[in-house]
Structure 1
Amino acid sequence: MLRLLSHFRTSDRFADALRVLLAMLGVALYGVLAKQPHVMIGLLLGVIAAALAETEDAWRRRLQALIGTLLCFLIAAFVVEALFAMPWAFAAALTLGSFLLVMLGAASPRYATIASATLLLAVYTMIGMDQPGAAQLPIWREPLLLTAGAAWYGVLATVWSALFVQHPVRQSLARLYDTLGAYLDAKAQLFEPMHDLPVAALRAELAQINTRVVEALNDARGTLIDRLDRRRPHAALERSLSLYLAAQDIHERASSSHYPYEALAEAFFHSDVMFRGQRLMRALATACRDRANAERTGSAFRMPPMLRGIVHDLRASIDRQRRAPEPPAPALLQALDRLADNLDRLQERIACAEAVEAETVDRSLHDPSPTGPIEALRRIRVQMTPSSARFRHALRLSLAMLIGYLVLRAVHPEQGYWILLTVMLVCQPSHGATRVRVLQRVGGTLIGLLVGWALLKLFPSPHAQLVGTVAASVLFFVTRFRRYLIASAAVTVLVLLAFNQVGNGFELIAPRLLDTVLGGAIAVAVTLLVLPDWRARELQALFAALLRAQAAYLEAIAAQYASGKRDDLPYRRARRDAHNADAELSAHLTQARDDPAGQHADADLVLRMLAASQTLLGHLSTLGAHRHRLSASADAVALQAQARDLATRLRALAEPQRADARPVAHHTAAWDDVDVPPGDASLQQRDGRHLVMAQLGLLYRQLPVLQELATQTRNPSS
């Protein structure tokens, strides 16, 4: 039990749970002392809406967001109150409002969170208006109660943020290093020395984990940005910034691919080299997780002492291969040397992640938030097209809300607004995700109704039920991201116990179950039938965006082989954009495989596209991980010429009218003209010339594969 409590205290949900607990206890205490249970219901729902609108900002920006959130809540609640008795006007406002609130999220993730919570509060207002006797109450009562509950939680959360500045930063960094550990573990599977290594399937799995790494990097950047805004941060934030920048470098090195893994596995099948490389990768994964635990608990990080020995064993194994009577090809040995160098540098980077790198003089971060209302409106306007996933989601959700309202008017106008709540909560951007969410919601509701019924029978005391309400609310916020089935059960128990304070909770059991099933069925039907043929068109756009992002990343890398390594903001943005594009493609393909509307896409095409994307990014990351200024200016000029040529070809593949043209066979004549002392292979290796030549050659080999995939995204049946 103590171990469980200790684990919970260090989890990223502990602070959220504690804030919700304090807010709910405050509301419950007020309700008991004031003897006004009707008031308490509105306050509880306001607390829930405000907690769902919360973002991990510093207290100043959080206060600004709170003021905007409360204003949105007030407007939404008063609109519901004003139009509730006019069905047709209400239906029109519900449809238009749902669409506009979803589209508002195009401006930034913060806007999206506030907009979603505003729609939720509007539905809460409908549920409050639907209760017996609500029509006789003043029009301002329900909106003010809901907003007061939201304000109470918002003030509590803002004070918490001002007192515990470092906690969200530490938690986001802990999640980041945990995902890096998972990525290194998955990458280690590619070092398995076996014939017919399933590289495509392993790379597809790696792509899924890479998506989580990219999300964790973006989350960590978001928690750091406004805490570093326009002021010199104190030592703790400087350390956190160093850890974040180190994580970017670790990710680039972990993503690198020095040589085709099938060839390495085949060449060293009877050697221990691959095993030792795999062992080192897994030890580095463990070190990343140890660093995550250190951040989470606030303890000192210690690098596992065995790592140095593992690195030494790998280098000794490579030297034995070099001294063998029949040594492997020089290209294979050079690839192993570069791999060992990269893993050694990766080990050093994990060990000294808090240190400021000499190359990272520019430690600024790019803020993705809109610079003002005009920029926010521009982002929304860009998304106003059927080719936008957000536009399609807004259209589907607004249509589903309208259908849900019509159904509740036709089936049972009393207690029917739970249908709209279910539609709003389960309707996801993809049909596959919606279907999963509906199953979890219905299952959780059924479990919650059974548990709630039992609690109502066992604990008839209102005070005991109030304790259960507070406990259920905390459980909901602890589990809502990772255990939605449990979260649905918890919020169902919360509803039964809370509404039993002012009426008969048993009367809610049947309507709640029926409305959840109806709302889920509406959401599934709408996401299946509305714009069902979008996937092939969006797949082409995402693949084109990936090729353009990889081309820009290549150009940014090549520039630093001429000027020297600098982890400046433009380079980090180019690298992040490339990984973001890969993550978006990976997420899209995962959804497509789970979506009946997307199952016309060939499963082999899905795997090959993920594998090609990861292969391309792996070779680019290798060039990025080893970038330095080439000693010969002619080499730098030749590299930039080849990089421009390759980037041009990648961008050509991204253009529909040019992608079908056959790529011209590559040549490396520019490198052949460089004056390198004959027979001085060590100079070539030290200078990095051989590495650059090898990686460019591997990138050029990918062009026919990428061309075939680009053609198939436009003609899935070909």
Structure 2
Amino acid sequence: MSQAATSLASNLNKMLKNFQPTLRNLLNLRANIAALSYLSCALPLFFLGHYTTGFALSLGSIACHLGDSASVTRHRLFDFLLCFILFPIHCYLSVVLFPTPWLYGLYLAGSSFVLLMLSVYSPRLGAVGFATVLAGIYTMLIYQPGLEDWHLPLALTAGAIWYAMWQCFALWRWPGREDRDLQHELYQELAQKLISHTRPLLPGSYRETFVVTAKLRALYAGKYNSLQQKVQQRLTAGEQSQELGWLLGSINTADKIAELTRLLHFTPGAAYQSQHQFWLEQIHALSGDLAQRLRTAKPKAANLSLPMERFDALRQMPAREGMEPGPEFRHEYLQTLAVIDKLELINIALTQLESGYPVPANSHTDSKSLQLSSASVLWQKFSSQLTLKSNHFRHAVRAVISLTLGWAVVTALHLEFGFWTLMTSLLVLKPNLALTWPRLLQRLTGTIGGLAIVALMQHWQIGEPLLVATFTLAAIGFFHTANRFYGFGVFCVTLFVFCGFALSGHGDGILLPRLENTLLGVALPVLCVLFIAPEWQKRAFPNQLLSTVSGYLTYLKSMQLYLGHPDQTNQSQPDDSKELEESFKQCVRNDTNLFDHWLGYLAEPRPKSSVAEVILLCCHGSNIILRLFTLLNWQAQKLAADDLITRELAETIAVFDNWHKRLLKDANSPYFFEVMRQHQNDIRARLLEIEQQGEQLDTVNILRLLRTEVEALM
């Protein structure tokens, strides 16, 4: 009986541990505060019968939420103040000019272009400009002829102020919680990445792990960059705190662990896997426990550290059970031990992180904050971007054309709720086709799914209490999912918009207008992206490959410079070491961007499988090179330059240089993919052979293996 109780308690404890990350996601502070501000300004007015005002307040809250992108408190306050100034002016002018369609159309085009081009000065200002354009569209969405001109602009601004008040209260009451939420999300992705790298140890597991791990790496990289930028904002603003020190430490630890997971790649052969199945399963279980530590990582939690004896016991397991591998399995045996070593290093890194980090030194430069400049300097920066080569300009032009065409169609056809078209176009439009196309599909599926539920709600004629409950749950769901799962966020929007209109007595005729405006709203931005510099991933990939190879070449030259100063007392040594590390990080970023091009190509309409295979093959080759570079980087600190290493390094640089020169000629060739396709089977076979070489390599053999791989890819 006691054994059953113990087993039940163990299972319950495991379930709670697995549920904890999900619960933490549900408790995300910024999302919950945004939902609270939305509901608290809408529901009371709904109950009082002031539906239009309540809707305006809630939409103003959403617009301010979309303009709230800073992490430094004083930056957020500045952005809030800017919203409070721009919202009423822009919305009031929209209301005043709305009765004259052609005049409003001109104002919509001009104001949208200027506001969206604010991104030239900083991403934060770009977010504020986007939110202001959206606030103007929201104003027209709920516009009623009988209202005073100032009514909706003031209501939308009041909703923005209400949102800001709640966020300021959260900053005061729970300081640092938002950054901890971001850190938590980062480590969730890192835990998934760790598990994916050790899953091939299990029998019957998949063999092709590259795509799975690379996708997880792309998700991790997005979270990592987001948190790094936010922490950097606080550092450059001169902030100093124990909390910031731990966040900075968590970023550095995550970077180190991500590098270690890259070296965990090992797929044992079937015979070796069969002979040592239990041992490999125990290693995978150990990685699962480490992944759980990653999911719950927090300061001063060193008691969660896995005992070092567990790692030693795993190393000794084959000898203890009389299952030591024979000479034919010697290579795989060493690779298995290397996996255990890397897992132990991850455990040590987590223990150091949980022990806490010191307060960071003051690095106040404020280089990325908004600087007050003269009008001529601001205009020069703005005018320099007025070219199709500028991402800011291309995106603003596409948005203006999409919004203006949408307004013209809505006016000409007298579409009911026509401003949904403009709102949809603005939210769907992204900088290129690879991002816009999946956004279109998610918008359509979310809207259709939401409208299906709306149809059932209308059929059952649900009452006001259920409408209010659905409105509340949908609003909370929207703020929690809009950034992660856009399709589900749109589903939630469709529900709470219907509930809002139904509470005001206008819910009956919402189905068809919502659908037709969504269809028009998603068609316009896609057409604009297709015909205005679509930036096809197929055309962009060769240049990204060229940049990636250039980064590898830079790293090798940095290592050559680093080894050229063997004297540790040399004053230039620290600079060489820093340059070597920075060039290595750039190699990691380039390789991630290369894989993103493959994901982007698949996201475009009608991708060709033959082209996708070539792009993936190049990504796989680059990833193997990066893994070898990671091994090389680990050994760099212990290297002493000798004639053999110097000669091998020079030969490797020459091979990479030849590859770089060849790509310079072939990058813009229309036959780039055709040439690669003709040799892809040979390339794939050689890459798989190189990939199985493992980690037990010295510097000379790593350099030789790098040359072999480049020759395969050339």
Q: TM-score, normalised by structure 2?
A: 0.78
The match for 1:615 is 624
Equivalent of 2:24 in 2, 5, 10 = 10
Is the 8 Å Cα contact of residues 87 and 136 (structure 2) preserved in structure 1?
Answer: yes
The one-letter amino acid of 1:693's match is: V
Deviation (angstroms), 1:245: 0.9
Once structures 1 and 2 are overlaid, which stretch shifts more, 51-60 or 103-112? 103-112
SS at 1:694 equivalent: helix
Alignment of 1:410 onto 2:388? no
Equivalent of 1:291 in 286, 289, 294 = 294
Alignment of 1:519 onto 2:524? no
Hey, what's the Cα distance between the residues in 1 that align with 2:626 and 2:642?
Answer: 26
Deviation (angstroms), 1:471: 3.9
- Rate the CA distance shift 1:385–1:601 in 2: closer, same or farther, 3 A: farther
Alignment of 1:593 onto 2:593? no
The one-letter amino acid of 1:585's match is: L
Deviation (angstroms), 1:705: 4.0
Equivalent of 1:459 in 448, 463, 482 = 463
The match for 1:683 is none
Equivalent of 2:224 in 201, 212, 217 = 217
The match for 1:23 is 37
Deviations along 1:585-605, one digit per CA (max 9) or x if unpaired, are 222211212323543762320
Equivalent of 1:695 in 699, 702, 714 = 702
Matches within 5 A, 1:87-98: 87-98=101-112
Deviation (angstroms), 1:453: 3.1
The match for 1:479 is 481
Deviation (angstroms), 1:167: 1.3
- Rate the CA distance shift 1:234–1:415 in 2: closer, same or farther, 3 A: closer
Matches within 5 A, 1:185-334: 185-189=195-199, 191=201, 201-229=208-236, 231=238, 233-256=240-263, 265=269, 272=276, 276=279, 280=283, 283-295=286-298, 302-305=304-307, 308-310=309-311, 312-314=313-315, 317=318, 326=327
- Rate the CA distance shift 1:647–1:342 in 2: closer, same or farther, 3 A: farther
Hey, what's the Cα distance between the residues in 1 that align with 2:282 and 2:561?
Answer: 34
The match for 2:9 is none
Deviation (angstroms), 1:6: 7.4
Equivalent of 1:168 in 160, 172, 178 = 178
The one-letter amino acid of 2:447's match is: V
Sequence identity percentage: 21
In structure 1, runs of 5+ residues without a counterpart are: 663-687, 708-718
The match for 1:126 is 140
Hey, what's the Cα distance between the residues in 2 that align with 1:658 and 1:591?
Answer: 18
Deviation (angstroms), 1:117: 2.0
Deviation (angstroms), 1:125: 1.7
The match for 1:183 is 193
Alignment of 1:68 onto 2:93? no
Deviations along 1:195-217, one digit per CA (max 9) or x if unpaired, are xx986x42122221111111121
Is the 8 Å Cα contact of residues 362 and 567 (structure 1) preserved in structure 2?
Answer: no
Deviation (angstroms), 1:275: 7.8
SS at 2:353 equivalent: coil
- Rate the CA distance shift 1:690–1:583 in 2: closer, same or farther, 3 A: closer
The one-letter amino acid of 1:188's match is: T
Once structures 1 and 2 are overlaid, which stretch shifts more, 400-409 or 8-17? 8-17
The match for 1:352 is 352
Deviation (angstroms), 1:304: 3.7
The one-letter amino acid of 2:350's match is: I
Deviation (angstroms), 1:145: 1.7
Deviation (angstroms), 1:181: 1.6
SS at 1:11 equivalent: helix
Hey, what's the Cα distance between the residues in 2 that align with 1:368 and 1:175?
Answer: 27
Equivalent of 1:146 in 151, 156, 166 = 156
Hey, what's the Cα distance between the residues in 1 that align with 2:700 and 2:365?
Answer: 32
Is the 8 Å Cα contact of residues 451 and 493 (structure 1) preserved in structure 2?
Answer: no
Once structures 1 and 2 are overlaid, which stretch shifts more, 617-626 or 315-324? 315-324
Hey, what's the Cα distance between the residues in 2 that align with 1:28 and 1:324?
Answer: 69
Structural RMSD (CA): 4.5
Hey, what's the Cα distance between the residues in 1 that align with 2:89 and 2:403?
Answer: 19
Once structures 1 and 2 are overlaid, which stretch shifts more, 530-539 or 64-73? 530-539
- Rate the CA distance shift 1:8–1:693 in 2: closer, same or farther, 3 A: closer
- Rate the CA distance shift 1:236–1:533 in 2: closer, same or farther, 3 A: closer
The one-letter amino acid of 1:173's match is: Q
The one-letter amino acid of 1:142's match is: L
Is the 8 Å Cα contact of residues 191 and 265 (structure 1) preserved in structure 2?
Answer: no
Is the 8 Å Cα contact of residues 246 and 350 (structure 1) preserved in structure 2?
Answer: yes
Deviations along 1:503-551, one digit per CA (max 9) or x if unpaired, are 5332334322322233234344444555557333211222222223333
SS at 2:510 equivalent: helix
Give the total of aligned pairs.
Answer: 663
Once structures 1 and 2 are overlaid, which stretch shifts more, 334-343 or 690-699? 334-343
Once structures 1 and 2 are overlaid, which stretch shifts more, 371-380 or 20-29? 371-380
Is the 8 Å Cα contact of residues 440 and 484 (structure 1) preserved in structure 2?
Answer: no
- Rate the CA distance shift 1:354–1:420 in 2: closer, same or farther, 3 A: same
Hey, what's the Cα distance between the residues in 2 that align with 1:653 and 1:319?
Answer: 54
Q: TM-score, normalised by structure 1?
A: 0.78
The higher relative CO (CA closer than 8 Å, separation ≥ 6) is in 1
Deviations along 1:297-333, one digit per CA (max 9) or x if unpaired, are x96661344x74345434665999998774667x877
Matches within 5 A, 1:483-502: 483-502=485-504
- Rate the CA distance shift 1:160–1:11 in 2: closer, same or farther, 3 A: same
